[in-house]
Structure 1
Amino acid sequence: MKHSPECRFCAEPLAHVMCDLGMSPMANSYVKFEHAQNAEKHYPLKVWICEKCLLSQLESFESPDAIFSDYLYFSSFSTSWVEHARKYCEMMTERFGFNADSQIVEIASNDGYLLQHFKAKGIPVLGVEPAANVAKVAWEEKGIPSVVKFFGVETAKELVATGKAADLLMGNNVMAHVPDINDFIGGLKIALKPDGVITFEFPHLQRLIDENQFDTVYHEHFSYLSFLAVEKMFAHHGLTLFDVEELPTHGGSLRIFARHTENAGAKTAITERVEAMRKQETSFGLTDMETYTSFGEKVKSTKRKLLKFLIEAKEAGKSIVGYGAAAKGVTLVNYCGVRDDLVDYVVDKSPYKQNHFMPGVRIPIYGPEKIFETKPDYVLILPWNLKKEISGEMAKIREWGGKFVVPIPEVTVLD
């Protein structure tokens, strides 16, 4: 009997598969060197698409508690991301006039990388962050008050009861991480002040398909979001999307702006960009199941090309290492079956990941200085969305003829 799950938003039985990446471990479950003998759980990594509401999604296999309660992703390690957050703060303060009388709430506030910019302007801030270890860094190092909780209807009611309803309720790269999306969006409706504004940023499904970004699929990402799907989900909960921006972050993201459907104001009138985005996604084919189901073939082709490059380089006596033990890299190496027979080791700036193995394939992770000790021929940039930042920081590899390689959308040796 074939297994068919239900859509997490509209409960429609799911009949279409966008891509099947086989069995994979949890992408942020790095294995300490001393735990090398321990077994790891692997789960199916299969993306389904709902024909009724157009939500692309994985099934839930692990509870959010198991995934996010002790998390090794700290936003502040990416300088370009911190700068992105600063510019957002400037733009939002100017556009909506937030001041000392406003309350800004960020969901999944991580280590305070974003709220620190509002705090510096004297605007009251509050972070809602489920990972206690990360929230502690925000409190202790940046003075950002943080509530250690998952966000949903119950947490929203608590915020309102304690006088923390939001003038600006925002979250970056969190919506995809929510298994109960109705509880989450229902919470937004409750926690937002009558004239408040919501913004969310998330990787854009259209870019994922168009640019073959299958390595952004991992178990922490329960949903893969289009504007059309998010608009339907927000409308169902009494929230209207009034503006949208396309961003270069995370390989191409959307920033959506929302408000209470019943509270249209001069600053929250629906912009022309909303209709333009609907048209863009429709003409790309996001209302056509064939667009999704043909994606799987593209993914298989990329796997073959990457393995061909790595095998040929190895057979020619070349050495290859990886840069960036990011979650997308974990998906890529596990799906492609890349182990330390093809990539000697991976380096990462985060001390929290060093002296661990990549989950599943068990490639060891060291600090970036290791590259200058071993002088590899190729450095495979796993977080390809940061290729400019990484190739700039590691430019010295060219002194011994080292070259950078990116695997997505096609295997490319950078000049």
Structure 2
Amino acid sequence: MTEGELVSFNCRGCASADVVPVVNLGEQPCADLFPPAETSGPDPRWPLALWLCRACTLVQLGPVEAQIAEEPLAVESATSRAHAEASVKEILRDYPELLGGVVFEFGSPHGGSWLDHLSAAGSRLAGVGEQADLVIDVHGIVHEPQYGESLKLRADRLAPGGLLVMEFHHLLPLFVGNQFDTIRHGHWAYVSLRALRNLAAHHGLTVESVRQVEMYGGSLMVMLRHTEDAQPDPSVDVVLDDEDAAGIADEVQLGSLQEAAWHAAGALHAELIRHKVAGRTVLGYGAPSKAPVLLDLSKVTTDLLPFTVDLSPRKHGRRIPGGSMVPIRPIDELKAARPDVVLVLTWDIADEIVAQLEADGGWGATYLVPLPEPHERA
């Protein structure tokens, strides 16, 4: 990173120039670019680094704008669909005044839409420019390069007395769980509750309540209102205290994630070497957007992982980008190969994957989860 980049880069949340690099994962391939398996590369790479804004505490990607836009190829998981349905039921149970109200949703490439469930419950979709009683953003805003401007759009959509619900992968479990593979191009912000609270205040919003949910390895569902309507409950301070105890607004503490990432990557490489030396076959399950960083940092190639499989037919015949070159095949090929070890690359839905592969009794495979350190799933 050059001095010029440091000078020209302003915070994506509050526009402050007081941003500092804290984690550098080197040059990495684009997470959603899955080239045809027969292409030899090399694939395009860009710097992948986290920066901390000292003013608002938002953790974010650095000044890298040149990326290849790729249409999402993933299939929405059963876990995600079930979570959307359950979330709508919980929100309407806890906020019955929203029943039959006007709703607006900012969509996400990850899916997880609430709209069908809300419509079934009697909600009406907001018209063009209409403010809504319930505004939803479920893992959408992190795909917007300018977090602060995007948050303002959500505030502007919210009707007086309305509720804004934002769900996002939480920086705290990313940090304490060494989830370094969730750092990727296209996800511009890595959000703590403190950072969201700070930025929300710029747009007349206040955090009222917080729920911790398991999605994507640990997420927050945050309820916000216009400040004049908000009545914060104790759940807010609980999460803020947890964040403070972990030091995720401290640049030195955040910087320790870099060493932890390299350590875990080396441990995964060593674990796969150990299985190979012992004559055990290892194949992968999943081709998520987190796989390129994980496999690249771990120096895992087809010598250690001959192929992985994925539920999405649109990924079949393609490969993981970057140095791994691992091809992506249908799930039936994994079942036919009956490997000794299945490396679960979509580790955040490991329960769903194991249940799927063991539905007919399985074949006695061991399931290897790569993070926070490689370990066998109990």
Same fold (TM over 0.5): yes
**In structure 1, which of residues 49, 53, 56 is the aligned counterpart of residue 52 of structure 2?**
49
| 8 A contact 1:17–1:292 mirrored in 2 | no
Equivalent in the alignment of 2:73:
72
Equivalent in the alignment of 2:375:
412
Equivalent in the alignment of 1:96:
95
| 8 A contact 2:83–2:112 mirrored in 1 | no
Equivalent in the alignment of 2:348:
385
Change (3 A) 1:109 1:316: closer
Report whether the alignment pairs 1:375 with 2:328. no
| 8 A contact 2:309–2:329 mirrored in 1 | yes
Report whether the alignment pairs 1:9 with 2:13. yes
- More deviation, 249-258/312-321: 312-321
1:5-404 alignment, distance < 5 Å: 5-13=9-17, 16-33=20-37, 36-37=39-40, 39-62=42-65, 66-67=68-69, 70-74=71-75, 77-97=76-96, 98-100=98-100, 102-109=101-108, 113-125=113-125, 159-160=128-129, 164-262=130-228, 264=229, 268-360=230-322, 361-395=324-358, 400-404=363-367
3-state SS of 1:357 partner = coil
3-state SS of 2:271 partner = helix
- Residue type of the partner of 1:44? P
| 8 A contact 1:204–1:226 mirrored in 2 | yes
Change (3 A) 1:94 1:364: same
C-alpha distance in 1, partners of 2:90/2:242?
A: 25
C-alpha distance in 1, partners of 2:258/2:268?
A: 16
Identity, % of aligned pairs? 30
C-alpha distance in 1, partners of 2:266/2:112?
A: 40
C-alpha distance in 2, partners of 1:7/1:279?
A: 24
- More deviation, 398-407/306-315: 398-407
- Residue type of the partner of 2:116? Q
3-state SS of 2:128 partner = helix
| 8 A contact 1:16–1:293 mirrored in 2 | no
3-state SS of 1:401 partner = coil
C-alpha distance in 2, partners of 1:190/1:407?
A: 41
C-alpha distance in 1, partners of 2:32/2:308?
A: 15
C-alpha distance in 2, partners of 1:38/1:261?
A: 51
TM-superposed deviation, 1:289: 2.3
| 8 A contact 2:168–2:219 mirrored in 1 | yes
| 8 A contact 2:108–2:139 mirrored in 1 | no
Structure 2 unaligned regions, length at least 5: none
Question: When the two structures are aligned, how many residues end up with a matched partner?
Answer: 371
Structure 1 unaligned regions, length at least 5: 127-157
C-alpha distance in 1, partners of 2:367/2:245?
A: 35
Deviations 1:148-198 (A, max 9, x none): xxxxxxxxxx932xxx32111111112222211122111112111111110
TM-superposed deviation, 1:48: 1.4
Change (3 A) 1:56 1:273: same
TM-superposed deviation, 1:92: 1.5
- Residue type of the partner of 1:159? V
Deviations 1:112-157 (A, max 9, x none): 742111122232236xxxxxxxxxxxxxxxxxxxxxxxxxxxxxxx
Equivalent in the alignment of 1:154:
none
- More deviation, 233-242/390-399: 390-399
**TM-score w.r.t. structure 2 length?**
0.92
Equivalent in the alignment of 1:129:
none
Change (3 A) 1:399 1:73: closer
TM-superposed deviation, 1:218: 0.3
Change (3 A) 1:159 1:183: farther
Change (3 A) 1:183 1:113: closer
C-alpha distance in 2, partners of 1:107/1:172?
A: 8
- Residue type of the partner of 1:243? S
| 8 A contact 2:74–2:315 mirrored in 1 | no
**RMSD over equivalenced CA pairs, Å:** 2.1
- Residue type of the partner of 1:279? D
C-alpha distance in 2, partners of 1:409/1:119?
A: 39
Deviations 1:271-292 (A, max 9, x none): 1111222222112223432211
TM-superposed deviation, 1:400: 4.0
- Residue type of the partner of 1:27? A
| 8 A contact 2:160–2:226 mirrored in 1 | yes
- Residue type of the partner of 1:373? A
Equivalent in the alignment of 1:144:
none
After TM superposition, what 4+ stretches of structure 1 lie above 6 angstroms from structure 2? none
| 8 A contact 1:60–1:179 mirrored in 2 | no
TM-superposed deviation, 1:333: 0.8
| 8 A contact 1:89–1:118 mirrored in 2 | yes
TM-superposed deviation, 1:398: 7.3
